[in-house]
Amino acid sequence: MGLDEGARSICSALIAGFDDDIDKEVLESFSHSGTLHILSVSGLHVGLIYLVLNYILSAIDRYKRYKLVQFIFISICLWFFALITGFSAPVLRSVIMFNLLGLGNLYFRNKPFNQINILSVSAFVLLVYDPLLIRDIGFLLSFSALFGILYFNPKFSKLYTSKNKFLDYVWKSLCVSVSATITTLPI
């Protein structure tokens, strides 16, 4: 039992970000319901792929003897995913950042304060690749949200600590949301 054309086009948008085949009425329905962003492929997809591959490969290589091979394999997979998605700005940002973070883990002590520097370098690389990305709303939202999370979230998270795991989880989730909102709201 196969999918009909409408379901297939929605699945294509969810997995690869290709939304050209989706009916305009369906796009308007997503837009009016406030869920249109679900159809865009973002850094979350790249992060999930990275986490799954890293988990599997770390389980295979428990003593971390083949860290370079693991990094190269994960990088190739992430760049292949970026190719499938058409090299959209959020996916490129994530792939470049995960590559830079991986290099940092291999050769340097990857401290949390270096993550903003890595974000800046990935923005620079993308703007050298395509200077007109500075006008792309996805590029601006992606970088500003991640900057807010990296900069404000640690400060907000320190304001309250709870011994209750559920309350701590809710607080940390709220801090991430507020941090991203602060920097994306002006855009």
Average pLDDT over residues 10-31: 68
Identity of the amino acid at 20: D
Residue-wise pLDDT for 70-98, tens only, equals 899 999 999 999 898 888 777 888 898 88
3-state SS, one letter per residue, for the chain: CCCCHHHHHHHHHHHHCCCCCCCHHHHHHHHHHCCHHHHCCCHHHHHHHHHHHHHHHHHHCCCCCCHHHHHHHHHHHHHHHHHHCCCCHHHHHHHHHHHHHHHHHHHCCCCCCHHHHHHHHHHHHHHHHCHHHHHCHHHHHHHHHHHHHHHHHHHHHCCCCCCCHHHHHHHHHHHHHHHHHHHHCCC
What per-residue confidence (pLDDT) applies to 91?
Answer: 83
What per-residue confidence (pLDDT) applies to 21?
Answer: 67
What per-residue confidence (pLDDT) applies to 109?
Answer: 66
Residue-wise pLDDT for 134-155, tens only, equals 898 878 888 898 899 989 999 9
Sign of the CA dihedral running 70, 42, 20, 139: negative
Integer Cα distance of 12 and 32 in angstroms: 21
Quote the pTM value. 0.71
pLDDT above 60 (res 1): no
What per-residue confidence (pLDDT) applies to 92?
Answer: 82
